[in-house]
Every structure is written in structure tokens, then in C-alpha cells.
Amino acid sequence: MFAEVAIKVPLFRTFDYRIADNCTVQVGCRVTVPFGNRKLVAIVMAIKSTSEVPANKLKSLTEVLDDSPILSTIHLKFLRFCAQYYAHPIGETLFTALPAALRDGAHPDKTTIANYVLSEAGKLQPKLRAKKQMALLAQLGKSGESSLTELKALGFSKQQINALLDKQLITEQIKHDTQWQNQAITIANKPRLNEEQATACSAINQQHNYRCFLLEGITGSGKTEVYLQSLERIVQSGKQALILVPEIGLTPQTVNRFRRRFANLAIDLWHSNLTDNERLHTWRRAEQGSCALVIGTRSSVFLPFKSLGMIIVDEEHDGSFKQQEGLRYHARDLAAYRCASINIPLILGTATPALETLNKAITGKYQLLTLSQRAQTTTDNQFLLVDMKGQKEQAGLAPTTLQHIAATLKRTKQVMVFLNRRGYAPTLLCHECGWLSQCKHCSASTTYHKAMGRLVCHHCSEQSFVPPQCPDCGSTQIMPTGIGTEQLEGFLTECFAETPISRIDRDTTRRKGALEDALDEINQGGARILIGTQMLAKGHHFADVSLVVILDVDSGLYSSDFRATEHMAQLITQVAGRAGRSGEAGKVLLQTHFPEHPLLQDLVNNGYQDFARFALKEREEALLPPYSHLAILRAQATNAKQVFDFLSDLVPATPYCGIQLLGPIPAPMERLAGKYRYQLHIQASERMILHNYIRQLMQYVSEHKLANRVRWSIDIDPMDT
């Protein structure tokens, strides 16, 4: 007998090995095989009685690592689809989907992981002098149970945990692997649904087969409540569910809400902060059916659930669902495939649907469910466009903007100022000769960080000292140009000396737990002005914000990326959702040089729904996705000519009916970390044509004489164009 196996090598094929007579092995098991002069872990894809490889060339399996399959046939089929769809080598696809511990051949059941819970004494709310220990008790009071990793992510240390263990205020609890499927499930105090929520829930509850629901509802309209109540039926019937969330959305607030609602269900988390051991543990629990729910970031879409009953994708438009390297998959799209193939419902929830998703809802492929009102408040936000033409701005703020900020602070409300550029200034400029501080390795300017006294490239992270003089002309007149969050904070601190200000960006939140601390302080009303980058835009709830200011709207209006306006509109709508929960109507102030821009006008006057439908028409006229299908072949190398030649060669060599090729064109960042980057856009009106062409192209590319000299990759349905 022969085993067809997948090995983690960048080749679009599987390999055959002989199975020794005394050896038993099943499809989906890991084995080790001799490969060249190495011994590698491989996964058995099929067992067959013949092989096309001549008998004298066939080697035997070295060792069988699993008694029973670690990947079921259904899961293998899913991963095979994944490799085909994204034109990625099958072995690399399988190994990307496996948790790291299983990739190196570890035994799947070697781990147990304890969660921390309050002891009886701990529940009595004892008073302790150590503040952090008190905070830890409070956290466990809220979450019910938390793992070491979760607590560490919140800024707690092992010492603090040990101190509480010593005082017997908390205990370790091995996660209950009880059969929750056979127990009554307690559902803690839930609110009565409003009419729209009830309509949505009943539509979802009636659906036992595959159906994709687009739950379109503004922030605070009660989408999470709809998820929670739709999940009841699923878990009560003993099925598991997966809730996919963007990285930033995996805040304790959301998780606590699920844990409080389903108090006696095992709910596991999956995100980038987990240790390999914890991932393995969750993987196995999903597979054995011992956890009911998993709340996870994009790669949780690969978890091998024993009996999956529903997938929910929260903030489905979010860019973090797309993996940007290696296997370039989109977790939302894979979730849709998975649900369809095992015939279960899928919910995509968002205030700002991706245009691809919205198009499917409009054409009836997906069922649209709308929540149009906020669940708790009824105030509507008001948009204000501030025309920046001819304005005397200070630190990027127009006088009108400053007046609005002052007035809001006077009413003791919070203000949020949003600028998607960290650092002090995006570049240094020589006033005499026009020299700009540039990264040596990238086609980008270096950002000036005043507090650090350094120039930093935000693309390759290279740092350098600030030159005392212009390197070109020797002038000392070099000055920061443009505005970053650090400068904005400095300026607002001067303007509003008495006002506590909090800045949230990658620079201020490097320390673990720093983000949570800052958010806590904001929520307790400490900071009155919040300055932030995109990090602040998503997933956080602030009670007291009544003015949101967005400074760099224009960068989204005119960009070479055809998705830029869509992303800008999503961002504005998301950020606007942060305002107006404080009892008074929120104001959203947008600074722009193009107040008459039709898409912007549509967005502020008629809202995202209208904007999106208008933007879809533009896409249709330009035959851009979702009205066509796109892939990008990217290539990079230190030698620009090699990259260019490599891509240029492919264009005449692979003609194909129904395919438009554009390029080679320089990537948006032509040079990055010393490498030159070019790309080829591949477009087709039919998905089948695109995929058939790509298959042929991959064959041709991998045999090309320059294929080993340049680094190349294919990106199907790319997000960055």
C-alpha cells in the first residue's frame, strides 16, 4: 500500500511513500518521511494501492505519529479547497492551519491548562492593601474564569497570581471537560429584544441549513445581543459555534459578556497572545467537542470543530480578517465556504458592510437583516464638514475645530481626536534646499519622534538620529513637517492646560496591559481629550464622548487604491459610533479640503448605507470588484531589473481568453527594506476563468528561470492593491 502525503514545502503537489506491511496508518494522521536527506513531518492525504512513481524510486514512511487522525476527512476537504482557492501549496496550507505544536510532531494530548477562579474566600470581596491584587480579584469577579495568558494580556503578573493563590483567595481549575451537551444550559438575565432584533433572531432561528445573514446595524444597535440570542438554540441542541472577531475587538468587555450570558458553558479564546500549548489545548477541545464556543481571531477559522452549528463574523468588513502573508486567506470568505459545505447558518455583522458583502445581500445571495436604531439611546449624530481651504491651522486643527473642542470640554464631555499618523511629524524638511528625511531602504519618509529624539521608518522600523544639519546643504533650518499624534498631544496640552489628555497609538501602548489601563481610565472619566490612531477607532465603548474630530479625511478621498473611499467611509462611521452615547447628540467633525466631494456628501447626509450603494455603482461602472475578480502576483528582489523581467515575461507567455493583465507596475511602496517591488494585476469577469488561469500561471511561474531569484507570491481577492 502507498500513502500520498503533504509535506511543508513550497510545491504544488503531494508525494507518495510506501507503507510497510507491519504498519497501520489512516488518512489524516501525521507521519515522518525521508525527504532529500532530511526527515520531515507529513500528513497523510490518501491511502492507495497503486502509485505512478516507479517502485525503485519510492521510499517508505519512517514513523506513524498518530494512532487516530488529527484531521478529519471533512476538515481535509476544507483545507484542500483552501489551498486550491488561494493557489497555495497544499503542504504549506495544511501546516499553516495546524497549531504550531502539532507541526513539529508533538503528541496532541500532552497538555492541560488551568484557569484561575475565585475561591469561596475570594468571592467575599476581601480588602487587600496591594492594589493590583485587588484589581485581579475584581477581574476574576467579572470574567468568572481567566487563563494565565488572558491575565498577562491585562497586565497582571505571575507573582500577583501566586500571591493570591498563597492567600487562598483564588484557585486553579482545570477546564471542565464535562459533557455540556447533556446539561441544562443556564442563560443569565437577557434583555427583551426590540422589534428589529426580534425579527432578525426569528429569521436566524428558523434557519437550520446553510444561509448567510448580513446583520447590518449601527454601533450600539444590539447586534451582539442578536448573536447571543441566536446562539442559544445552537448550544441547546448540543452544537458548537465559532465567533470570529477582529484582533482589536477581543477586549475583555465582549468576552465577559459571552461568559456572563452562558455562565456554565466552556468558552475558549483564540488569539495571537496564546502560547503554543494553549493553542493546542483549544484545538483539541474544539475537536473533541469539549468547548461550546470559541471566540477567536482570523486563524480560528481553521479550528476542527466536532460538531459546528454556526459561525458568526463580527465586524465582517474588518481588514484584519485577511492574512497578508503566506497563505493569504480571508477568514470571512473561508467561514462562508465552511458553513455552506457543512450546511449551517452564518451571520456576518457590521455597521459598515464590505461592498462585496453588501452586493451579495442586494442580489439576494445573502439575507439582509437591518437594525436601524440604537438599543439604548435614540440620539442621532450630527456631521459637520470643516472646509480647510485657506484656514489658519495649528497642529492640523482649524480654528472652528478648536472652538468646538473648547465648547465640548466646557460641558464636561469627552472629545476624541482621530489622526491616523503616530509620531511627532511624518518627515523633516530642509527649509533651504527642500531635502526630506527618507528611509535608506524604503521609498518612504522617516517619521520624527520628538520624545525619542529619533527618526523612525514605520515600514522597516529602522531608526536613526536626527541630523543637526541638512545632510545635503548644511543648513540648520530643518524642521518637522506635517502632523502626528505626538505633536497633536503636545499642542492640545498647551491649549487646554488643565485638561487630562490620553493618547492611544502603537507608541503609547507597547507595554502589555497599557491599552487596557488607558481605556479604563478613559471610561472612568479621567481623560477628557482622547487622541488616537486607528487603534482607538474600533471595538471600544466610551460612555462620555460627545465630539469626534477626524483630521485626515482627505487621504482616503484620493488614493490609488480603489478601496480607499470604502475604508475611509467605514472608519468615519465606526469612529462616529463612538460619539453620542452620553445622553446628548454626538457631533462628528470632519476636516477636509474637499467638502463638496460627492461620496463624502453622500456619507454625511445619507449615511453609510446610502454611500455604499452609491460606491457600488461606481465600482460597477469601472468593472472593479465585486463586479470582476482580481488577483495580484507580487514580486520583489534587491535587483529591480530581475523583478521587472520576471513579471514582464509572464504577460505574453500566458495569454488566456477572458483575462486582463495590467503591469508590471510598481507596488504602492516601490522599495521596502531594500527590496524593489512590482506587481501584476490579473482581472477576470468570471471567477472560474480567474482560477483556471491562475492554475496555469502558477505552473509556469514556478518553473521560470528567475523564480528562485525573486520572491514572489500570489494574492487572490487582494485587499491592498
Give binding residues for Zn(2+) as ranges: 430, 433, 439, 442, 457, 460, 470, 473
187 touches ligand ADP by CB under 6 A:
no
- The neighbour count for residue 595, using CB atoms within 10 Å, is 17
Q: Which is nearer to ligand ADP, 137 or 250 (CB)?
A: 250
| DSSP letters spanning 275-335 | -HHHHHHHHHHHHHT--SEEEE-GGGGG---SSEEEEEEETTT-GGGB--SSS--BHHHHH
551 binds, among Zn ion, ligand ADP, none (CB under 5 to 8 A by kind): none
Q: Which is nearer to Zn ion, 135 or 433 (CB)?
A: 433
225 touches ligand ADP by CB under 6 A:
yes
- Minimum gap (Å) between residue 227 Cβ and ligand ADP: 8
Q: Binding residue for Zn ion (CB under 5 A) from 58, 263, 473, 479?
A: 473
Nearest one of 480, 481, 448 to 465, comparing CA atoms: 448
Q: For helices 90-97 and 73-85, give the axis angle rounded to 10 degrees.
A: 120
- Strands (DSSP E) contained in 423-492 are 427-430, 447-449, 454-456, 463-465, 478-481
Report d(CA 694, CA 662) in Å as an integer. Answer: 15
Q: How many residues does the chain have?
A: 721
CB within 8 A of 623, min separation 6: which ones? 683, 685
Q: Please name every residue paired with 305 in a beta bridge, in sequence order, or none if there are none.
A: none
Report d(CA 260, CA 677) in Å as an integer. Answer: 49
460 binds, among Zn ion, ligand ADP, none (CB under 5 to 8 A by kind): Zn ion
653 binds, among ligand ADP, Zn ion, none (CB under 5 to 8 A by kind): none
Applying CB under 6 A, which part among 24-32, 222-230, 483-491, 559-567 lies near ligand ADP?
A: 222-230
256 touches ligand ADP by CB under 6 A:
no
Q: Which is nearer to ligand ADP, 131 or 192 (CB)?
A: 192
Q: Binding residue for ligand ADP (CB under 6 A) from 14, 221, 282, 437?
A: 221
Q: Which is nearer to ligand ADP, 99 or 222 (CB)?
A: 222
Q: Which is nearer to Zn ion, 332 or 449 (CB)?
A: 449
193 touches ligand ADP by CB under 6 A:
yes
Report d(CA 120, CA 122) in Å as an integer. Answer: 5
473 binds, among Zn ion, ligand ADP, none (CB under 5 to 8 A by kind): Zn ion
225 binds, among Zn ion, ligand ADP, none (CB under 5 to 8 A by kind): ligand ADP
Nearest one of 508, 539, 543 to 528, comparing CA atoms: 543
CB within 8 A of 720, min separation 6: which ones? 324, 561, 668
- Minimum gap (Å) between residue 459 Cβ and Zn ion: 5
224 touches ligand ADP by CB under 6 A:
yes
Residue with cell 470543530: 305
- Minimum gap (Å) between residue 668 Cβ and Zn ion: 14
Applying CB under 6 A, which part among 65-73, 192-200, 548-556, 585-593 lies near ligand ADP?
A: 192-200
Write the burial class of residue 52 (CB in 10 Å: 0-12 exposed, 13-18 middle, 19+ buried): exposed
Residue with cell 480560528: 300
Q: Which is nearer to Zn ion, 441 or 709 (CB)?
A: 441
455 touches Zn ion by CB under 5 A:
no
Report d(CA 250, CA 321) in Å as an integer. Answer: 13
197 binds, among Zn ion, ligand ADP, none (CB under 5 to 8 A by kind): ligand ADP
193 binds, among Zn ion, ligand ADP, none (CB under 5 to 8 A by kind): ligand ADP
442 touches Zn ion by CB under 5 A:
yes
- Minimum gap (Å) between residue 371 Cβ and ligand ADP: 7
376 binds, among ligand ADP, Zn ion, none (CB under 5 to 8 A by kind): ligand ADP
433 binds, among ligand ADP, Zn ion, none (CB under 5 to 8 A by kind): Zn ion
Contact 486, 503 (CB under 8 A): yes
List Cα–Cα distances, 288 to 176, 179, 305, 610, in angstroms: 13, 10, 7, 45
Report d(CA 373, CA 219) in Å as an integer. Answer: 9
439 touches Zn ion by CB under 5 A:
yes
- Minimum gap (Å) between residue 442 Cβ and Zn ion: 3
Report d(CA 686, CA 683) in Å as an integer. Answer: 9
Question: What phi and psi, each to the nearest 5 degrees, are found at residue 131?
Answer: -65, -45
219 binds, among Zn ion, ligand ADP, none (CB under 5 to 8 A by kind): ligand ADP
Q: Binding residue for ligand ADP (CB under 6 A) from 141, 191, 471, 474?
A: 191
- Residue positions forming the annotated binding site: 430, 433, 439, 442, 457, 460, 470, 473
In this structure, what C-alpha cell is assigned to residue 531?
A: 487622541
Applying CB under 6 A, which part among 35-43, 98-106, 191-199, 233-241 lies near ligand ADP?
A: 191-199
- The neighbour count for residue 96, using CB atoms within 10 Å, is 20
459 touches Zn ion by CB under 5 A:
yes
Applying CB under 5 A, which part among 143-151, 470-478, 544-552, 681-689 lies near Zn ion?
A: 470-478
In this structure, what C-alpha cell is assigned to residue 599?
A: 461620496
439 binds, among Zn ion, ligand ADP, none (CB under 5 to 8 A by kind): Zn ion
Report d(CA 594, CA 554) in Å as an integer. Answer: 7
Task: Give residues 363-392 in contact with ligand ADP (rule: CB under 6 A).
Answer: 375-376
Report d(CA 290, CA 707) in Å as an integer. Answer: 46
- CA dihedral in degrees (126, 127, 130, 134; nearest 10)? 50
433 touches Zn ion by CB under 5 A:
yes
223 binds, among ligand ADP, Zn ion, none (CB under 5 to 8 A by kind): ligand ADP
Report d(CA 63, CA 31) in Å as an integer. Answer: 6
Q: Binding residue for ligand ADP (CB under 6 A) from 14, 146, 147, 219?
A: 219
121 touches Zn ion by CB under 5 A:
no
Applying CB under 5 A, which part among 266-274, 327-335, 432-440, 500-508 lies near Zn ion?
A: 432-440
Contact 480, 414 (CB under 8 A): no
- Minimum gap (Å) between residue 255 Cβ and ligand ADP: 13
470 touches Zn ion by CB under 5 A:
yes
194 touches ligand ADP by CB under 6 A:
yes
In this structure, what C-alpha cell is assigned to residue 218?
A: 449601527
Tell how far CA 388 is from the center of its chain.
33
Report d(CA 338, CA 439) in Å as an integer. Answer: 43
- Minimum gap (Å) between residue 226 Cβ and ligand ADP: 7
* DSSP 8-state assignment for residue 537: T
Q: Which is nearer to ligand ADP, 195 or 621 (CB)?
A: 195
# chain residues binding ligand ADP, by CB under 6 A: 15
Report d(CA 370, CA 367) in Å as an integer. Answer: 10
Q: Binding residue for Zn ion (CB under 5 A) from 247, 393, 472, 544?
A: 472
Q: Which is nearer to ligand ADP, 245 or 457 (CB)?
A: 245
586 touches ligand ADP by CB under 6 A:
no
Report d(CA 672, CA 664) in Å as an integer. Answer: 17
Q: Which is nearer to ligand ADP, 194 or 601 (CB)?
A: 194
Residue with cell 521560470: 704
Q: Rule CB under 6 A: which residues touch ligand ADP?
A: 191-194, 197, 217, 219-225, 375-376
Q: Rule CB under 5 A: which residues touch Zn ion?
A: 430, 432-433, 435, 439, 441-442, 457, 459-460, 470, 472-473, 475
